[in-house]
Amino acid sequence: MDRIIITGGRRLEGRLPISGAKNAALTLLPCALLTDEPLTLRNLPRLADVDAFGHLLNQMGVSTTIEGASPADFGRVMTLRANRVTSTVAPYDIVRKMRASILVLGPLVARAGEATVSLPGGCAIGNRPIDLHLKALEALGAEIELAAGYVKAVAPGGRLPGGDFTFPVVSVGATENAVMAAVLASGRSVLDNAAREPEIVDLCRCLVAMGARIGGIGDSRLVIDGVKKLYGATYKVMADRIEAGSYACAAAMTGGALDLIGACADEMRATIAALVEAGIHVEELPDGLRVAANGPIRPLTLSTAPYPGFATDMQAQFMALLALAEGSSVLTETIFENRYMHVPELARMGADIRVSGRTAVVAGVDRLHGAQVMATDLRASMSLIIAGLAAEGETHVARIYHLDRGYERLEEKLQAVGAAIERAGGD
């Protein structure tokens, strides 16, 4: 199994391109199921999860072609066409590897009138049930049955009527599934307490480009008037705000300065506010963001929250950054109950972190040292990379398949801005 080897202590400096957003791409890909016309997605990141999702769509009759982009380029242009849905089953062997596969459920019910989808897998960061996905689809008129590890959803009469649903708690995935199901319903649907993440805005904008009628985009109340047909479109995937935030932490932790090309400040306000409070210089550029170290790292008190709050997907990276702060920081994880699995690995590098329930106290230390560490999930993997870049000596990060799910060509990007980092085969 591959691993990443980092010789730490090198200042990062230069221009670093931000790829298309993983979380947006995995939501836009299933939109291809909603029309028999071509959907072309630009700026699609080259990631294991994107490839796996494409394979799943292929099994459902979606053709996929890659246009123009050289294998050496970041991002891809992919055209997907579901001229005919040949299968409405998402099997266990694919879905178990990637939780986002559940997002075919809504589009399949909307387009084909039925769907059979395995219960999902993904990172082991806590209990992430799909009950809200199912309740939302039921409110839109679907009949739901659970059997033998699969969800069976049917639209009586072949088309969902639409309906109203209030999410009892904010759920990004459930909102996405409900929106995709509602756009082809025969009536109006109203979704209250819907998630407002930029990736959902991206989804709604793509659907509107395909002919959907969605009101309230960016708000917690979405009003969707179903249409009989959606059409083909060309759409550019938004920049990855989590990738941008991750590299911002790397720049700050190494005492460096990076221009994050393509990063969008408006989608990163909570991350930027936390960086500035920690004493990091952040400047908006015409083509992105500049992030630069600006003296000692100051301690923070942070609590994760749904957008526009501080993203749970940035918690691990900030924990690595705050391990070198001058003082003690307090992090509270409110979204997932098991998202501190990186703590023992950071401790192996010399970090001083104490966890009690959902709260972690990070006492800043003078330095970190290289060690052999193991990634436990996608964002935990990145926290170890960031720590390794700043640590003294050599760090070996194992189980890096997590990184390949969410960070496009990480080593190449970091090497280009001064990092001593390489991928090596496993022992």
CB 39 within 8 A of CB 232: yes
Mean predicted confidence (pLDDT) in 315-335: 97
Q: What is the pLDDT of residue 276?
A: 98
Report d(CA 172, CA 185) in Å as an integer: 20
Which single residue is written with the structure tokens 């459930």? 174
Q: pLDDT exceeding 90 applies to what percent of the chain?
A: 84
Phi-psi region at 171: left, alpha or beta (left = phi > 0; alpha = psi -120 to 50): beta
How many Cα atoms occupy the beta-carbon half-sphere of 56 within 13 Å? 33
Distance CA(238)–CA(283), nearest Å, equals 20
Q: What is the pLDDT of residue 175?
A: 98
- Tokens 């490839």 locate to 51
- Asked whether the predicted pLDDT for residue 26 surpasses 60, the reply is yes
The rounded mean pLDDT for the chain is: 94
Residue tagged 């739901």 (tokens): 144
Closest CA to 202 of 165, 242, 243, 239: 239
| Residue 124: predicted pLDDT | 39
The DSSP bridge partners found for residue 64 are: 80
Tell me: pLDDT of 123 over 60. no
Q: Give the pLDDT score at 129.
A: 72
Q: Do domains 3-15+240-424 and 23-225 have the same CATH topology?
A: yes
Check if the beta carbon of residue 293 is closer than 8 Å to that of residue 259. no
Q: What is the distance between the terminal CA atoms of the chain, rounded to a whole angstrom? A: 7
Q: What is the pLDDT of residues 51-103, one digit of tens each?
A: 999 999 999 999 999 985 565 667 899 999 999 999 999 998 888 778 789 99
Which pTM was predicted? 0.94
Distance between CA atoms of residues 397 and 8, nearest Å: 13
Spatial distance between the Cα atoms of 325 and 394, rounded to a whole number of angstroms:
21
Least confident interval from 71-80, 171-180, 319-328, 345-354: 71-80
Q: Contact at 8 Å (CB) between 172 and 199?
A: yes
Is the pLDDT confidence value at 126 over 60?
Answer: no
Write the Ramachandran bin of 99: left for phi over 0, alpha for psi from -120 to 50, otherwise beta.
alpha
Separation between Cα atoms, residue 207 and residue 28, nearest integer Å: 9
What is the structure's pLDDT at 427?
Answer: 55
What sign does the CA torsion over 157, 163, 165, 171 have?
Answer: positive
For every residue of 388-424, DSSP letters joined together read HHHSBSEEEEE-THHHHTTSTTHHHHHHHTT-EEEEE
Q: Tens digit of pLDDT for each residue in 211-223?
A: 999 999 999 999 9
- Mind listing the pLDDT tens digit for each residue in 240-262? 999 999 999 999 999 999 999 99
- Computed from CA positions of residues 348, 353, 357, 358, in that sequence, does the dihedral angle turn out positive or negative? negative
**Sheet with 352-356, side-by-side order of all strands:** 301-303, 328-332, 359-363, 352-356
Q: Which residue has the tokens 């952040």?
A: 282
Which residues are catalytically annotated?
123
CATH architecture for residues 3-15+240-424: Alpha-beta prism (3.65)
Cβ atoms < 10 Å from Cβ of 102: 26
- Return the higher-pLDDT residue of 282 and 426: 282
Average pLDDT of span 263-276: 98
The CATH code that applies to domain 23-225 is: 3.65.10.10
Residue 122 is predicted with a pLDDT of 41
Task: Decide: 19 and 408 in contact? Cβ < 8 Å.
Answer: yes
286 prior amide bond cis, ω within 30: no
Return the domain boundaries, the chain: 3-15+240-424, 23-225
Place of tokens 């890909």: 29
Distances (CA, A) of 255 to 6, 252, 278, 294, 385: 16, 5, 13, 8, 15
